[in-house]
Structure 1
Amino acid sequence: MSSDLSALPEPSPKRRRIAQSCIACRHKKTRCDSLRPACSSCRAKGLSCEYEQDSLVAIPASTLARIEARLSKLEQLTPGFSDEGPRRAEPSKHQHGDAVNDGACAVTETSAAVIIKNLKHAVPSGKAASPTTSTEPSHGTTYINTDSLWLPERPEADILLESYARQVYPLFPILHLPTLRVNYNRIWQTSQLSNHSLRTTSEDVLLYATLNMILALGRLNSTSNEPRKCREQAMTFYERARRILTLDAIDSPSLETIQYCLLTTQYLMFTSRFNRCHSAIGIAIRAAQCIGLDNAVETGWSQPKREMARRVWHSCMLFERLVCSLFGRRVTSFTDSAVPLPIPIDDENFSEDGISPRLQNLPSVTVAFEISLNIFRIIEDARWITVPKEHISLDELTAVLRLSERLDRIQESLPAHLQFSTIADNSLRGSRHDVFILQHVAIMIRIAHVRLLLLRSCILEAARLHSSLQAEASSPPRTTDRLRMETCHICVQAAIDTIDLLDENLRAPLRVMSCIALFTAFSAATVLIAASLIPELEDRYELPGNRITQVMNVLTSHRWQIDGVASAIEHIEQYMKTVDDIKARRVAPRGLSISGSNGPEPIPNKAQAPSDTSGIHDESTLGMQGDAFFDFDLSDPLWDLDWNVTADSLGL
Structure 2
Amino acid sequence: MASQQPGNITQAYTEGEPLPKRRRVALACSACRARKSKCDGRRPSCSACTSLAIECQYEPSDSSTNLLVRKEYLSELTQRLKNVESVLQRHDDLLTGHLSSCAANREEVSATTRIGDHPSISTVGQVQDGIHLDTLNVEDPGSDDTKTDGLAIEFVDKPTPAFYGDSSTILFTPPYKENNSSECNAAPESREQSPPVMESPRNMPISPMTLPSEREMDTLLSTYFNAYNSLFPFLHEPTFRETYNECKASGFVKARRDWLGVLNMIFAMATHIDQTAEASAKHRFRRSYVFFQRAVSLCSELSMRTVSLSIVHYLLLAALYLQGTQRPIQTWTVHGMLVRTAMALGLHSEQSAQELHPVQQEIRRRTWLTIYCLDKIQSVTCGRPPAIPDEYIVVKMPSPWATTVQTTQRQLSDVDIHTAFLDATVRLHQIVGRSIATQYGQNLGLPGQDMDDSTAIQAASAMRQELRRWSSSLPPYLSLYDPEYSLSESEDTDSDRLRGILTLRYHFANILIHRPLLCTTLRYLTMRGPPVGSPLPYRIQLALAEAHECIRSAEKTIEIVHAVVSAPNPSYTKLDVWFFTLFHVFNSALVVLGRSVLDQHGVYIDHNATQDPVQGPLNQAVEVLDKLDRDNRLAYNCAKFIRRFSQPQSGQG
- Normalised by the shorter chain, which TM-score bucket? 0.5 to 0.7
How many Å separate the matches in 2 of 1:374 and 1:452? 17
Is residue 344–residue 366 contact of structure 1 (8 Å, CA) maintained in 2?
yes
How far the C-alpha of 1:404 sits from its partner, in A, is 2.4
How far the C-alpha of 1:350 sits from its partner, in A, is 7.8
How many Å separate the matches in 2 of 1:493 and 1:303? 44
Corresponding position of 2:624: 554
For residues 578-635 of structure 1, the C-alpha deviation after alignment (integer angstroms, 9 at most, x for no partner) is 6779x89xxxxxxxxxxxxxxxxxxxxxxxxxxxxxxxxxxxxxxxxxxxxxxxxxxx
Alignment of 1:181-580 (within 5 A): 181-191=241-251, 204-222=256-274, 223-228=276-281, 229-246=283-300, 249-297=303-351, 298-336=353-391, 339-346=394-401, 348-349=403-404, 359-362=411-414, 363-385=416-438, 393-419=453-479, 434-467=493-526, 470-472=529-531, 476-506=535-565, 507-508=570-571, 510=573, 511-534=575-598, 535-540=602-607, 542-560=612-630, 564-577=634-647
How many Å separate the matches in 2 of 1:470 and 1:536? 12
How many Å separate the matches in 2 of 1:267 and 1:282? 15
Is residue 272–residue 563 contact of structure 1 (8 Å, CA) maintained in 2?
no
How many Å separate the matches in 1 of 2:357 and 2:465? 38
Task: Decide whether aligned partners of structure 1 residues 305 and 390 sit closer, same or farther in structure 2, where only a CA change above 3 A counts.
Answer: closer
Corresponding position of 2:34: none
Is residue 176–residue 347 contact of structure 1 (8 Å, CA) maintained in 2?
no
How many Å separate the matches in 2 of 1:519 and 1:421? 20
Corresponding position of 2:63: none
How many Å separate the matches in 2 of 1:547 and 1:357? 42
Amino acid at match of 1:232: R
Is residue 391–residue 461 contact of structure 1 (8 Å, CA) maintained in 2?
no
How far the C-alpha of 1:262 sits from its partner, in A, is 0.7
How far the C-alpha of 1:493 sits from its partner, in A, is 0.8
For residues 70-95 of structure 1, the C-alpha deviation after alignment (integer angstroms, 9 at most, x for no partner) is xxxxxxxxxxxxxxxxxxxxxxxxxx
What SS does the aligned partner of 1:437 have? helix
How far the C-alpha of 1:463 sits from its partner, in A, is 3.1
What SS does the aligned partner of 2:493 have? helix
Q: Which stretch shifts more, 395-404 or 360-369?
A: 360-369
How far the C-alpha of 1:231 sits from its partner, in A, is 1.5
How many Å separate the matches in 1 of 2:386 and 2:435? 10
How many Å separate the matches in 2 of 1:325 and 1:226? 31
How far the C-alpha of 1:536 sits from its partner, in A, is 4.0
How far the C-alpha of 1:253 sits from its partner, in A, is 0.9
Amino acid at match of 2:583: F
Q: Percent of aligned positions with the same letter in both sequences?
A: 19
What SS does the aligned partner of 2:615 have? coil
Task: Decide whether aligned partners of structure 1 residues 505 and 149 sit closer, same or farther in structure 2, where only a CA change above 3 A counts.
Answer: farther
Task: Decide whether aligned partners of structure 1 residues 529 and 343 sit closer, same or farther in structure 2, where only a CA change above 3 A counts.
Answer: closer
Give the structure with higher Rg (CA).
2
For residues 265-318 of structure 1, the C-alpha deviation after alignment (integer angstroms, 9 at most, x for no partner) is 110010111111112222121112112222220433321121111111111111
Task: Decide whether aligned partners of structure 1 residues 573 and 545 sit closer, same or farther in structure 2, where only a CA change above 3 A counts.
Answer: closer
How far the C-alpha of 1:361 sits from its partner, in A, is 4.5
How far the C-alpha of 1:543 sits from its partner, in A, is 2.3
What SS does the aligned partner of 2:354 have? coil
Task: Decide whether aligned partners of structure 1 residues 504 and 183 sit closer, same or farther in structure 2, where only a CA change above 3 A counts.
Answer: farther
How far the C-alpha of 1:434 sits from its partner, in A, is 1.8
How many Å separate the matches in 1 of 2:273 and 2:540? 45
Alignment of 1:628-643 (within 5 A): none
Task: Decide whether aligned partners of structure 1 residues 148 and 278 sit closer, same or farther in structure 2, where only a CA change above 3 A counts.
Answer: same
How far the C-alpha of 1:577 sits from its partner, in A, is 4.0
How many Å separate the matches in 1 of 2:534 and 2:508? 34
Alignment of 1:56-75 (within 5 A): none
Corresponding position of 1:148: 208
What SS does the aligned partner of 1:288 have? helix
Is residue 400–residue 454 contact of structure 1 (8 Å, CA) maintained in 2?
yes
How far the C-alpha of 1:521 sits from its partner, in A, is 0.8
How far the C-alpha of 1:465 sits from its partner, in A, is 3.6
Is residue 220–residue 230 contact of structure 1 (8 Å, CA) maintained in 2?
yes
Alignment of 1:117-156 (within 5 A): 147-156=207-216
Is residue 521–residue 540 contact of structure 2 (8 Å, CA) maintained in 1?
no
Task: Decide whether aligned partners of structure 1 residues 358 and 539 sit closer, same or farther in structure 2, where only a CA change above 3 A counts.
Answer: closer
Amino acid at match of 2:363: M
Task: Decide whether aligned partners of structure 1 residues 147 and 269 sit closer, same or farther in structure 2, where only a CA change above 3 A counts.
Answer: closer
Q: Which stretch shifts more, 257-266 or 183-192?
A: 183-192
How many Å separate the matches in 1 of 2:510 and 2:246? 45
What is the number of residues matched between the two proteins?
A: 422
How far the C-alpha of 1:519 sits from its partner, in A, is 1.6
TM-score normalised over the length of structure 2: 0.59
How many Å separate the matches in 1 of 2:508 and 2:594? 17
Is residue 341–residue 370 contact of structure 1 (8 Å, CA) maintained in 2?
no
What SS does the aligned partner of 1:524 have? helix
How far the C-alpha of 1:373 sits from its partner, in A, is 0.8
Is residue 230–residue 418 contact of structure 2 (8 Å, CA) maintained in 1?
yes
Q: CA RMSD in A?
A: 3.5
How many Å separate the matches in 2 of 1:250 and 1:163? 30
Q: Which stretch shifts more, 552-561 or 384-393?
A: 384-393
Is residue 358–residue 402 contact of structure 2 (8 Å, CA) maintained in 1?
no
Corresponding position of 2:155: none
Amino acid at match of 2:430: R
How many Å separate the matches in 2 of 1:327 and 1:295? 27
Is there any run of 5+ residues in structure 1 with no aligned partner, and where? Answer: 1-144, 193-199, 585-652
How far the C-alpha of 1:571 sits from its partner, in A, is 2.1
Task: Decide whether aligned partners of structure 1 residues 453 and 335 sit closer, same or farther in structure 2, where only a CA change above 3 A counts.
Answer: closer
How many Å separate the matches in 2 of 1:420 and 1:447? 8
Is there any run of 5+ residues in structure 2 with no aligned partner, and where? Answer: 1-204, 441-447
For residues 338-372 of structure 1, the C-alpha deviation after alignment (integer angstroms, 9 at most, x for no partner) is 53334431475189xxxx99954543312111111
Q: Select the structure with the greater relative contact order (CA < 8 A; seq sep ≥ 6).
A: 2
How many Å separate the matches in 2 of 1:291 and 1:302? 16
What SS does the aligned partner of 2:384 have? coil
How many Å separate the matches in 2 of 1:456 and 1:225? 38
TM-score normalised over the length of structure 1: 0.59
Is residue 439–residue 459 contact of structure 2 (8 Å, CA) maintained in 1?
no
How far the C-alpha of 1:562 sits from its partner, in A, is 6.3
Is residue 380–residue 436 contact of structure 2 (8 Å, CA) maintained in 1?
no
Task: Decide whether aligned partners of structure 1 residues 475 and 504 sit closer, same or farther in structure 2, where only a CA change above 3 A counts.
Answer: closer
Task: Decide whether aligned partners of structure 1 residues 481 and 179 sit closer, same or farther in structure 2, where only a CA change above 3 A counts.
Answer: same
Amino acid at match of 1:174: F
Q: Which stretch shifts more, 325-334 or 379-388?
A: 379-388
How many Å separate the matches in 1 of 2:310 and 2:564? 33
